[in-house]
Amino acid sequence: MKAVFLALTMLFIAGCTTQPIKNVDDHAVFNANNSMTQDSLGKHIHRAASQLGWSIKQSNAGHMVAEIKPRGKHFVAIDIYYDNDSYSIHYKKAAI
């Protein structure tokens, strides 16, 4: 959960600066005894993103789209792909 929160925070910060955007690919999630399911990881990602102000839409199992409008002036959308032991965050689009 902390890794998801950190990754989303970093992506948000990257979207608000002139730094190049970096995608996160297949970032491993600690999954003790295989107790994490795809559904439970999706719920953790959704909660962390929502706490950061992102609007989340579930596209299908293992994929959601997150959008944010910082300061009401800009727009950023990202794709989040996940399974029971990893996630990827990819830039989708942005507008000023």
Burial of residue 18 (number of CB atoms within 10 Å: 0-12, 13-18, 19+): exposed
Domain ranges for the chain, please list them.
Answer: 2-95
Report pLDDT for 8: 64
* CA–CA gap between residue 69 and residue 86 (Å, rounded): 27
Report pLDDT for 88: 96
pTM, two decimals, is 0.76
- Judge contact between 65 and 56, C-beta under 8 A: yes
User: pLDDT tens track of the chain, all 96 residues?
Assistant: 666 666 666 666 555 555 677 899 999 988 778 788 999 999 999 999 999 999 999 999 999 999 999 888 889 999 999 999 899 999 999 887
Give me the half-sphere count of Cα atoms (radius 13 Å) on the Cβ side of residue 43: 5
Report pLDDT for 43: 93
Report pLDDT for 63: 97
Burial of residue 84 (number of CB atoms within 10 Å: 0-12, 13-18, 19+): middle
| Top CATH class, 2-95 | alpha beta
